[in-house]
Every structure is written in structure tokens, then in C-alpha cells.
Amino acid sequence: MTALTAASGSAHAAILGVGAYRPRRVVPNSEVVDAIDSSDEWIQQRSGIKTRRFAEDDETVPMMSVAASKQALDAAGIAADQVDCIIVATVSHLMQTPSAASLIAHELGTTAAAFDISAACAGFCHGVSLAADMVRAGSSRHVLVVGVERLSDITSPTDRGTAFIFADGAGAVVVGPSDVPGIGPVVWGSDGEHYDYIRQNHDWRDVIASDDPQMPHLIMEGSAVFRWAAFEMAKVAQEALDRAGITADQLDVFVPHQANNRITDTMARSMKLPDTVRIARDIVDAGNTSAASVPLALERMMAEGEARSGDTALLIAFGAGLAYAAQVVTVP
Ligand code: COA
């Protein structure tokens, strides 16, 4: 047998820079309530959401991704041609193939490896884990991870359970080599028994075969998702702390998927997070942007001084699949 040369990477990986793109159009609850017989008060009380952003025609998945990526690259001090791989987490790039990532790579001016991953709201944290492993294994030195959604394209404005929740935006990070561990072990998994809890309402083949084809949209069993997220995900978050070798009182920042403020509150209580831990609340004016929600929330906390360089942050994302991933990271 001929011996092959093995790849070898950096001892450790870290997030080197964070970027975000928030669509221009701010949509208050008053714009969505009539079609779902709801009220601003109900939406704020049940979810925490006051406003969200909906992308306009030119704010496409690639356009928002490129804007967030440029900001992340600038923050990291890395040029696009130093990126070896681009991972894009999304469920709302409405071209089955090719990937959004290859177009984003081209628009950034690089021929880096590029592919999309489909893990719904958990996609970004999956991407960060892959990127960290790639940097450590040596298949890439710098990896750009993007979480991006235009959920307004696949949300029905008349669906009471989702119309007020889902929204649009993009977030990105650069993952690269580090002298010390900056991305802790991932805790991830899937619970396919509940595949139906959050899903596209119709398979494309059924849509095409229908006499009255309609754009498919997301549907969700809200209460079941709520219970799963609030209770099961607190255990996953705790396990991510344990695997990183830290306790809750060593945490500075908690950045959970921005699904619902009440889910965040329940998780924080179950984990007995001390009051000193600063908690992301981007959902209030971003809504639930699925794969984009964790990097958007992190970027905002950094921009507002709530998350500072060197802080220890717990990330957790969860959603359709059901899929989840959590890790502790150092804020760049
Ligand atoms: N506006 C006003 N009232 C509404 C409503 C809406 N959009 N949707 C439901 N209601 C009403 C129901 O009719 C019901 O009324 P009733 O008590 O008179 O029968 C009541 O509110 C409770 O309905 P329910 O479906 O049990 O609501 P809920 O308390 O579970 O809240 C969600 C709904 C969607 C806010 C909540 O389930 C949730 O946040 N789930 C998780 C969603 C999520 O995070 N998804 C993303 C994961 S990635």
C-alpha cells in the first residue's frame, strides 16, 4: 500500500470576524395583524416581536450574504482570496441547484470551495462546527460561514402560526486558525420523529401536479415546537457548556436562536444562568430569521457593546428537522 500525505491544520480554531445584513424595510406588527386576526399586543406578549425586516426585490439571498460576508471579512482582516471554503446555511435560496454558495463565492471574487447546507434554523451552528473541524483538520485555513434567509418568500401572510414570526436577513463569520481554542466542542443532533413539526406544507411534485399551483409555505406546530425548544434545548445548551469545560457563571453572553423570547427565558431559567450573563434579544426587531438569527444576534450584541472581544459566548440553534447544534465560542 502506498502511503499518502495526510492533511494537517491548526491546533485550534476561532471566530475571527462577524458581519450582518439587515434588509431595509422595517415591518411593524400592525402590518401583519389584519391578515391573521391578531394584535400587536398578542404578538409581543407571545413572542417578544415588535418589528421584523422583509427583504425587497434586490435584497436577494446572494446579495444579503455578500454584504454580511464583506463585513465579516473586513472585521477579520482577511481578503476574500484567503478564504478556502464558503458554507452557506439556508432553506430559502429558491434555486434547487446550483448552490447559493457558489454564486456568493463568485460575487466575492473567489474560487473557494462553496456549498450550501440545509439544517433550517440550526444551520449556522452546524456550519461553525464544520468550519472549526476543517481548520483543525487542514482542509481549509479560513472558512466563511453564512446564515441567510428570505423567509418572507416561503411564509404565508395568512398563516396564523407563522406569519408574525418569520423574517429575512443574513449574518456571517470567518473561522480561522487560533493559538488557543476559540470554538468549543459541538453538541448536535436530530429528532426526525418530529419531522412534521416545522415543514414546507407541500412537496414540489404535489404543487406541480395540482390544478391550482400555489407557492409552498412553512407550517408549524407551534405549541409542540415551543415545548421541545424550551425544555430539550436547555439540556443541549448545558451539555455544550459541560463539553467546553465551563460552568454557567463563566459565561458572559448567551446567544440562542431567536425563535421566541419566552423560549429564551425558559432556557435561561432551566440553565440557572446568572444575571450577569447578557442574553441576545434581537428577535424584538428582527423576528425569527432562521439560519441568520444567531450571527445577526451576535453581531448586534457586539455592535452595541453587550458582547466584547474575548467574552465567552454560548451559541445554540434549533429548528425544523428537528435539528439542533450548540457550542461555546470566544467573541472575536
Ligand atoms: N394571533 C392571535 N391569537 C392567536 C394567534 C395569532 N397569530 N395564533 C394563535 N392564537 C390563539 C389561538 O387561537 C388560541 O386561542 P384560544 O386559547 O382562544 O383557543 C391561543 O392563541 C393559543 O394558541 P396556541 O397555538 O396554543 O398559541 P401559543 O401560546 O402556543 O403561541 C406561538 C403560539 C407560535 C407564539 C408559540 O407556539 C411559539 O412561539 N412556538 C414556537 C415557535 C418557534 O419558536 N418556532 C421556530 C422554531 S425554529
- Tens digits of per-residue pLDDT, 17-66? 999 999 999 999 999 999 999 999 999 999 999 999 999 999 999 999 99
Q: Pick the residue whose CA is nearest to atom 34 on ligand 1.
A: 222
Does 208 lie in the same domain as 155?
no
Q: How much is the pLDDT for 208?
A: 94
CATH code for position 32: 3.40.47.10
Cα 145 to middle of ligand 1, angstroms: 32
For the chain, the 3-state helix, strand and coil shares in percent, each to the nearest 5, are 40, 25, 35
Does 115 lie in the same domain as 90?
yes
The model's pTM is: 0.97
| For range 247-270, the mean pLDDT | 97
Compute the mean pLDDT over every residue in the chain, rounded to the nearest whole number: 97
Q: Where does the pLDDT of residue 165 fall: very low under 50, low under 70, confident under 90, or very high at 90 and above?
A: very high
Does 167 lie in the same domain as 216?
no
Residue that finishes a domain, picked among 127, 150, 178: 178
Ligand 1, residue 220: give the atom nearest the CA.
45
Q: Where does the pLDDT of residue 199 fall: very low under 50, low under 70, confident under 90, or very high at 90 and above?
A: very high
Least confident residue range of 81-90, 100-109, 136-145, 221-230 = 221-230
Is 3 inside any structural domain?
Answer: no
Residue that finishes a domain, picked among 140, 158, 178: 178
Q: Pick the residue whose CA is nearest to atom 36 on ligand 1.
A: 222
Does 216 lie in the same domain as 145?
no
Q: Where does the pLDDT of residue 234 fall: very low under 50, low under 70, confident under 90, or very high at 90 and above?
A: very high
Does 267 lie in the same domain as 136?
no
Is 163 inside any structural domain?
Answer: yes
Residue positions annotated with a catalytic role = 121, 257, 288
Where is pLDDT greater, at 231 or 278?
A: 278
Does 39 lie in the same domain as 173?
yes
Q: Where does the pLDDT of residue 157 fall: very low under 50, low under 70, confident under 90, or very high at 90 and above?
A: very high
By DSSP bridging, strand 187-190 and strand 143-150 are unpaired
Domain range for 148 is 12-178
Cα 224 to middle of ligand 1, angstroms: 10
Is 298 inside any structural domain?
Answer: yes
Residue that finishes a domain, picked among 121, 153, 178: 178
| pLDDT more than 90, % of the chain | 99
Does 161 lie in the same domain as 53?
yes
State how many domains the chain has: 2
Q: How much is the pLDDT for 292?
A: 98
Cα 216 to middle of ligand 1, angstroms: 21
Q: Give the pocket of ligand 1 (CB within 6 Å).
A: 36, 38, 42, 46-47, 121, 160-161, 164, 220, 222-223, 225-226, 229, 259-260, 263, 288, 319
| For range 281-307, the mean pLDDT | 98
User: pLDDT tens digits, residue range 82-98?
Assistant: 999 999 999 999 999 99
Number of residues in the chain: 332
Q: Where does the pLDDT of residue 298 fall: very low under 50, low under 70, confident under 90, or very high at 90 and above?
A: very high
Is 6 inside any structural domain?
Answer: no
H/E stretch holding 325:
strand 323-330
| For range 264-291, the mean pLDDT | 97
How far apart CA 208 and CA 96 sit, in angstroms, is 15
| pLDDT more than 70, % of the chain | 100
Does 77 lie in the same domain as 52?
yes
Q: How much is the pLDDT for 238?
A: 97
Does 196 lie in the same domain as 156?
no
Ligand 1, residue 46: give the atom nearest the CA.
35
Cα 39 to middle of ligand 1, angstroms: 12
**For residue 117, what are the β-bridge partners?**
89
Q: Pick the residue whose CA is nearest to atom 45 on ligand 1.
A: 259
Q: How much is the pLDDT for 332?
A: 98
H/E stretch holding 215:
none
| For range 306-319, the mean pLDDT | 98
Is 5 inside any structural domain?
Answer: no
**Residue 87 identity:** I
Helix (H, G, I), strand (E, B) or coil at 273: coil
Does 168 lie in the same domain as 83?
yes
Does 215 lie in the same domain as 101?
no
Cα 160 to middle of ligand 1, angstroms: 8
Does 19 lie in the same domain as 64?
yes
Residue of 30, 32, 226 with the most ligand 1 atoms within 8 Å of its CB, for mutation? 226
Q: How much is the pLDDT for 97?
A: 96
Helix (H, G, I), strand (E, B) or coil at 194: helix
Q: How much is the pLDDT for 218?
A: 97
